[in-house]
Amino acid sequence: MGRRRAVVVSAGTVVVVGAAVAGFRSLLHRQARIARKRIGKPLGEDAMDADRVWGRRHEGEPVELAIFGDSIAAGLGAERRKDTLGARLAKGVARQTHRAVRLHTAAVVGAESSMLAAQVDGLPDDYRPHVAVVIVGGNDVTHRVPIPTATGHLVATVARLRARGAEVVVGTCPDLGALRPVPQPLRTLGSRMSRQLAEAQAQAAARAGAHVVSLRRAVGPFFVTQPDEMFSLDRFHPSALGYRRTAEALLPTVLAALESPTAQG
């Protein structure tokens, strides 16, 4: 009787735990639907086209700056071309180096790490950026892409860009815990997953030869403490100020990358 009772109790425990897990998953799915409804797509799916030569008053051959990744890299949320991340970086490089900067934005709104390959494929065969900036990861988290899979795509992209002669700067996945429209406990789960991905990205990208900037550490606190100023009207993508802060965090590393022998060559 004792053994039979133990089996019954164990089976009952499994049923209860299974029901709890199923209930938690159902809660997360409901909260994800709520978050999507709250955020919506008021900005559309196309970022401002900021590709041009910035700092034309400077003489000499321009610096070639390329941007890869998702909607943050593309600049969705900026209302003016000069406020996109790429333009902010281009202007900063031009100001510090006294050289013009030709910006090429390959980033695509909604991109996951698996889509980086297509962005590199779309480059002209003879295009050789001095510095390539890659920001990706948020969509990998929301779509539950396994971390090894996401980082594998990132590493492959770093290798391909370096093979083109570019120095690569990787801005790691932002902390999704700053997204106020996402209800709890989904927001906490997103924060934990985005941090885990960012840490894996940093380690993998550094091993692949990239320069790494932790966006969570560098600008995350601004988005947490100043959400009304740092986010655009959808409360999901950065505002002009959000992009300015992000560019300021990336710029020193971009400038350091430009000083490397690879970029100088």
Residue-level pLDDT at 34 = 42
Residue range 100-129, pLDDT digits in tens: 999 999 999 999 999 999 999 999 999 999
> Does residue 27 register a pLDDT over 80?
no
Question: Among the options 71, 113, 191, 194, which is catalytic?
Answer: 71
Q: How far is CA 176 from CA 60, 65, 109, 215, in A?
A: 41, 27, 17, 11
Question: Among the options 104, 130, 153, 237, which is catalytic?
Answer: 237
3-class secondary structure, 132? strand
* Six-digit token string for 56: 């034309």
Rank 69-78, 176-185, 248-257 by mean pLDDT and report only the highest: 248-257
Which region among 34-38, 62-66, 196-200 has the lowest average model confidence (pLDDT)?
34-38
Q: How confident is the model at residue 43 (pLDDT cuts 50, 70, 90)?
A: low
Q: How confident is the model at residue 30 (pLDDT cuts 50, 70, 90)?
A: very low
237 is a catalytic site residue: yes
Residue-level pLDDT at 183 = 65
Buried b (16+ CB within 10 A) or exposed e, 65-89: bbbbbbbbbbbbbbeebebbbbbbb
153 is a catalytic site residue: no
CB contact at 8 A, 109 and 46:
yes
Residue range 185-208, pLDDT digits in tens: 777 888 899 999 999 999 999 999
Residue-level pLDDT at 184 = 67
Average pLDDT, the chain: 84
Domain ranges of the chain: 1-39, 44-264
> Does residue 158 register a pLDDT over 60?
yes
Is 0.95 topped by the overall pTM? no
Q: How confident is the model at residue 80 (pLDDT cuts 50, 70, 90)?
A: very high
Name the CA dihedral angle for 199, 200, 204, 205, rounded to a multiple of 10 degrees: -50
* Six-digit token string for 194: 């985005």
CATH topology (fold) of 44-264: Rossmann fold (3.40.50)
State the average pLDDT over residues 87-94. 98
